[in-house]
């Protein structure tokens, strides 16, 4: 009878279909694995590059913080101390015509500098170690005493405080925190390039056609997520690089200006040791006093120019002050 042969033929067809589905499922799983590996590699590479830039920027920030600490201690504070000993200073005869591009120091600016130095003395009195990474981060990014918190009693500050404590970029770069918790990779990208979460790259394990097809679709979805995350991390890396270059440039200019200022400070100290009455100074000595004062003003302006705003991006003010300072020391 023909029926058994028909049934046998149907079984063969069904078996062949099952084999094909099995092959298709394997192909789909192989594709899913391959695409997921690509997505994972893409994400890991971008993350590694961003972390490398973060470390470089963090180092540049620490270097700037240390440079500012040194200049406050060895230049600005000593200048205010020695200048305060001079009596009968007349700012009206501040003639700096042949002192290239130097701004004039006024009595009001000197008074503000004195007030600022009184505060900074308290903050720095515990030494650079007492500042901690958070204190150095605030000093580097802002330079002013207000962002470091009040430490007039000499209390050590080893964490981000003041405005620095609410700045996600500084918390990310300095390895600090906005409150008590950490602020890692996502923290930096929140500010610098958007919030990024790692793609979910797990693949279902059962070798079934329906699962395999879903796994392949998920894998391509993972690839899309990885591409987006990589772009965001690239944007974050570019932003961090811009901050690093600004830190490095300001550090270089500050150190160059300090080298120019130190001989002026030494001459001022020698003058004041022998005579504290400005009204009896020679014209050359008066000019030397005012050049030292004006150079100290330039130093202080660059020290206190905020580099990062509350959103964590570079400020135009720091660029402006930097360019003005470069013209002076050119």
How many CB atoms lie under 10 A from the CB of residue 83? 20
Distance separating alpha carbons of residues 113 and 325, to the nearest angstrom: 18
- Reported confidence tier of residue 24, pLDDT bands at 50, 70, 90: low
Structure tokens at 227: 């591409």
- Reported confidence tier of residue 5, pLDDT bands at 50, 70, 90: very low
Question: What are φ and ψ of residue 164, in 5° steps?
Answer: -60, -30
- Reported confidence tier of residue 295, pLDDT bands at 50, 70, 90: very high
* Helix, strand, coil percent content, the chain, rounded in steps of 5: 75, 0, 25
Distance separating alpha carbons of residues 63 and 221, to the nearest angstrom: 42
Closest CA to 194 of 319, 58, 60, 46: 46
Q: How far is CA 304 from CA 6, 109, 238, 298, 307, in A?
A: 92, 14, 25, 10, 9
The pLDDT, as a whole number, for residue 17 is 40
Residues 234-290: tens digit of each pLDDT: 888 888 899 999 999 999 999 999 999 999 999 999 999 999 999 999 989 998 999
Q: Is 199 helix (H, G, I), strand (E, B) or coil?
A: coil
Match 């500012």 to its residue by tokens.
68
The DSSP code sequence of 52-113 is HHHHHHHHHHHHHHHHHHHHIIIIIHHHHHHHTT-BS--GGG---TTSTTPPPPPHHHHHHH
Spatial neighbors of 182 by CB under 8 A, at least 6 apart, are none
Closest CA to 144 of 176, 109, 116: 116
Q: Where are the domains of the chain?
A: 3-329
Entry pTM: 0.79
Residues 115-167: tens digit of each pLDDT: 888 877 777 777 777 677 777 788 888 876 555 544 333 344 445 555 566 67
Q: Is 206 helix (H, G, I), strand (E, B) or coil?
A: coil
Q: In this structure, what DSSP letter does residue 314 have?
A: B
Spatial neighbors of 181 by CB under 8 A, at least 6 apart, are none
Closest CA to 53 of 313, 237, 314: 237
Closest CA to 244 of 49, 71, 55: 55
Residue 71 has pLDDT above 70, yes or no: yes
Residue 229 has pLDDT above 70, yes or no: yes
Structure tokens at 144: 């002013």
């Amino acid at each position: 009878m023909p029926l058994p042969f028909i049934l046998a033929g149907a079984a063969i067809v069904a078996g062949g279909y099952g084999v094909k589905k099995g092959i298709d499922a394997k192909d789909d799983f192989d594709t899913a694995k391959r695409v997921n590996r690509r997505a994972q590699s893409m994400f890991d590479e971008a993350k590694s590059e961003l972390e490398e830039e973060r470390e470089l920027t963090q180092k540049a920030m620490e270097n700037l913080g240390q440079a500012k600490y040194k200049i406050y201690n060895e230049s600005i504070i000593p200048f205010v101390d020695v200048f305060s000993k001079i009596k009968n200073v007349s700012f009206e005869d501040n003639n700096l015509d042949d002192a290239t591009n130097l701004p004039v120091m006024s009595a009001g600016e000197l008074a503000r500098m004195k007030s600022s130095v009184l505060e900074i003395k308290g903050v720095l009195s515990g030494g650079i170690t007492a500042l901690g990474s958070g204190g150095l981060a605030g000093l580097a990014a802002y330079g002013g005493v207000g962002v470091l918190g009040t430490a007039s009693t000499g209390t050590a500050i080893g964490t981000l405080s003041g405005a620095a404590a609410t700045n996600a970029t500084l918390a990310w770069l300095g390895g600090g925190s906005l409150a008590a918790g950490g602020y890692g990779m996502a923290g930096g990208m929140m500010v610098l390039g958007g919030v990024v979460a790692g793609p979910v790259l797990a693949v279902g394990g059962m070798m079934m056609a329906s699962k395999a097809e879903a796994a392949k679709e998920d894998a391509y979805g993972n690839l899309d997520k990885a591409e987006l995350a990589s772009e965001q991390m690239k944007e974050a890396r570019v932003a961090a690089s811009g901050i690093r270059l600004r830190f490095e440039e300001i550090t270089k200019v500050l150190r160059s200006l300090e080298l120019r200022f130190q001989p002026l400070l030494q001459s001022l100290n020698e003058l004041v040791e022998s005579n504290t009455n400005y009204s009896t100074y020679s014209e050359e000595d008066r000019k030397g006093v005012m050049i030292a004062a004006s150079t100290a003003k330039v130093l202080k302006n660059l020290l206190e120019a905020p580099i990062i705003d509350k959103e964590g991006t570079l400020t135009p003010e720091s660029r402006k002050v930097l360019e003005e300072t470069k013209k002076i020391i050119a």
